[in-house]
A and B are shown apart, each in its own frame.
Chain A
């Protein structure tokens, strides 16, 4: 019964999403024999986390009616901070990574403070930090790419437990925890309420400011975590890293049925959105489509999926009215 609850309230029904995912898989499988190989599936699942983890934070932010476009910059900054602390100051890697993670959380906290206390529009706030944080990444690293080869650290991005990528396990755990938070705690439900009607929430005595602070901080932390995984996978950190991450993530989240207007969205939808985008990219590379057409396809899928759902919603709405 509750699972039904989870599916409902999504802009694009999860059914539509699963259907389009199935169609896409069938198409790629027909086009190339390599698509359904275990090696390829392994590739797909081991690279999901970099987009999938910040997508959780983005979903929460969009549900409250905000947006966070600083995630890519935060991911880059985290990588730079971590590698600099380790390489230049000799701080143990674990501690460096933790500080990197916290720096991402700090950026998120600042975003939240600007949005709630100074009441600056979230888009403008995070557009600002997007640029500021990217700039800091360049300043700290002096534009340099840093190699970061450490066996233990590489486990985060490349390690496996029982043939399952460790990063994927982290991601699944995070999705589980945040789903529980979002659907079964007052905190989570309040986020929907804030996005649906900030006024109603305020009148009902919900501490809106505190909720938003937490949400933006979480978004920063998760973006930072994605940055760490990426650094671990690439064994290097670059200030230019994760460029455009925000758009990939927002695309996945919106594809998953979360409304940009707030008050609506599910994590399961986001997860499917992330998987669809990742599979699409993978399949297009496998069938050797030019990279320009890959960008095209990505946008097309988004517009089609959302557009299709609008039409479906309108049709069912009309039928409902007829029935009355």
Chain B
């Protein structure tokens, strides 16, 4: 009983003082509105990454760090959202406590987007959201539908050239649990393949499968589906990312049907590149998102926002479809043997 009373007294005191504090602070924020209130000589920017477990996001982080160094007047504070909305929110709180000028968020939970934005709006801190939009934040990221289109077009072109413009069946390795972003990729790939290929795949020969974003699950569902497709059918597969594509290829190989399958994907990460430069690879290629270059666009955009220069509400990545024909233009250092002039060096990754 006594404790409870004490708590009540404490709470009331806290509220009263808190209100005074807020009143005292507010006018200060309003004063310097005439010029650009947020402009400074140097900036502290908080960057909360999606996770540190994935190649893609690690590259994003590295790109952010080097872009911040290149800008010269930016101090970057790093955090990890661990694929979790609640963690993203607490990272936001930490950023606010640390007095950041701007926040770059790469976070997955749409529901937490509103809360995070409400918190940072209350503090007057601008936010750039990577890949998953948040209301009121400047969006930066992939143009997923367009990225899908690039892969779909490339796949259609390959089929037109090698299989007389017709494939018999299509495997669609999607990721329904992650909502609209991967869905847009898949739609882009599917629609643009069907539009550009000479004979589109019949609707009942399109198999939509849940990749669950892992190789073994993709391997399993494709293995289970292949028996339903006649033995000599030509199969095209469109996949949500490189890992899923690897699973499809492994399943086709295990079933002895690798000759009759061709796969495109998204991301073009190191493992995907390695697969596509193999001799007789069934991985045609993948649309690159250049995560390592995210920072080159995000950091300047954030400085623009802080210095009150106009910034478009959405900024997109420059997507390019990477295949074995152009991988050396973008990633020569990754594959010195393959890119080192002579093309006849099939052994890789030894």
Contacts and interface: CB of A to CB of B under 8 A. Distances in A.
Interface stretch (B133-141, B246-254, B331-339): B246-254
B216 A145 contact: no
A221 interface: no
Given A234-B216, A241-B214, A285 B53 contact: no
B58 interface: yes
Contacts of A47: 220, 223
Nearest to A243: B214
A292 B227 CA distance: 22
Nearest to B211: A291
Contacts of B275: 147
Contacts of B253: 158, 235
Contacts of B210: 290-291, 294
A46 B52 CA distance: 35
B306 to A, nearest CB: 32
B293 interface: no
Interface in B54-105: 54-55, 58
B225 A238 contact: no
A265 interface: no
> Which residue, of A42, A145, A158, A239, has the highest number of chain B Cβ atoms within 10 A?
A145
A272 B219 CA distance: 22
B216 A241 contact: yes
Interface stretch (A33-41, A99-107, A178-186): A33-41
A242 B220 CA distance: 12
Nearest to A87: B349
B297 interface: no
A290 B228 CA distance: 16
A147 B275 CA distance: 8
A286 interface: yes
B271 A146 contact: yes
Interface residues of B, number: 41
B219 A143 contact: no
Please classify how large the interface on chain A is, using the bins under 10, 10 to 19, 20 to 34, 35 or more. Answer: 35 or more
> Which residue, of B53, B55, B210, has the highest number of chain A Cβ atoms within 10 A?
B53
A285 B271 contact: no
Contacts of B317: none
A158 B249 CA distance: 13
A236 interface: yes
B170 to A, nearest CB: 13
B250 A234 contact: yes
Interface in A4-59: 32, 34, 37, 39-40, 42-43, 46-47, 50
B145 interface: no
B295 interface: no
Contacts of B207: 288
A286 B220 CA distance: 12
B224 interface: yes
B274 interface: yes
> Which residue, of A143, A236, A294, has the highest number of chain B Cβ atoms within 10 A?
A236
A64 to B, nearest CB: 29
Contacts of A46: 223, 254
Interface string A119-147: 00000000000000000001000111111
A262 B180 CA distance: 45
B270 A43 contact: no
> Which residue, of B212, B219, B269, has the highest number of chain A Cβ atoms within 10 A?
B219
A230 interface: yes
Contacts of B219: 233-234
Given A145-B269, A234-B219, 9 more contacts: A34-B227, A43-B224, A46-B254, A87-B349, A145-B55, A149-B349, A234-B216, A234-B246, A238-B243
18 contacts: A37-B227, A39-B226, A43-B227, A47-B220, A47-B223, A87-B349, A145-B243, A145-B271, A147-B271, A158-B253, A235-B246, A235-B253, A241-B215, A281-B224, A286-B228, A288-B208, A291-B209, A291-B221
Interface of B: 52-55, 58, 176, 207-210, 212, 214-216, 219-221, 223-228, 231, 242-243, 246-247, 249-250, 253-255, 269-271, 274-275, 278, 349-350
In the A-B complex, the 6 residue pairs with the smallest Cβ-Cβ separation, listed nearest first, are: A291-B210, A40-B227, A145-B271, A285-B224, A39-B227, A34-B228
